Homo-oligomer: A and B are copies of this chain.
């Protein structure tokens, strides 16, 4: 399984992904699921992937080969984030159909993507591209999108993430959401990747890696547990506790 999330706040974008892949519990590997595509000063994209690893790898290769070969459309020619999402949906479904055409069993080749980015002159946007190639975007009322094992890390996002949260606190919230998921579900695992993109910067942004023994990640997890205990202590007491 996988857990990836993307947050869109007024100050920019935050993306976070785990790196665990598994084909059964006895076949576990580490693969990055975060793919930045940056043309400094002009356009910034980052792709997050979940699902069949052969599909997601083939999609990323196709995105790169389309750019290298000057195929139209590619990520340098699309004029809006929606066009980029549309392009990704076409590439993803083409790859899935190709792999399915060679299938000797009834394999699940599906993959789901989050595409976040900004094209110069436009606002940052985040799209989630379904295995069917269609897509949805986030909104002011729901300024984040998740793929993979989404439930464990959703309550903290539901309570905290709004457009006016600053970029670094939103990034800390993303790390907490990821950390809680890793603690509760074995199929999501480190290293964790974090991308912090400041709106209108049109550069890769801060791209951070946190391995299992990373001191920052460990301190974050410990401080978060401490903070939760303090938050619990401050909750209203039952009436009989005041007697």
A240 touches B206 (CB 8 A): yes
Docked Cα-Cα span, A192 to B234, in Å, equals 21
Question: Is A184 interfacial (CB-CB < 8 Å)?
Answer: yes
Identify the interface centre among A169, A172, A183, A230: most chain B CB within 10 Å of its CB.
A172
Q: Is the interface of A mostly helix, strand, loop or mixed?
A: helix
A interface with B by C-beta (< 8 Å)? 151-156, 158-160, 168-169, 171-173, 176, 180-181, 183-185, 196, 206, 208, 216, 219-220, 223-238, 240-241
Q: Can you give 25 contacting A-B residue pairs, CB < 8 Å? A: A151-B152, A151-B185, A152-B152, A153-B155, A154-B184, A155-B155, A159-B224, A160-B232, A168-B237, A169-B232, A172-B235, A206-B240, A216-B236, A219-B236, A220-B235, A220-B236, A223-B236, A224-B231, A224-B235, A226-B231, A227-B227, A227-B228, A227-B232, A227-B235, A228-B231
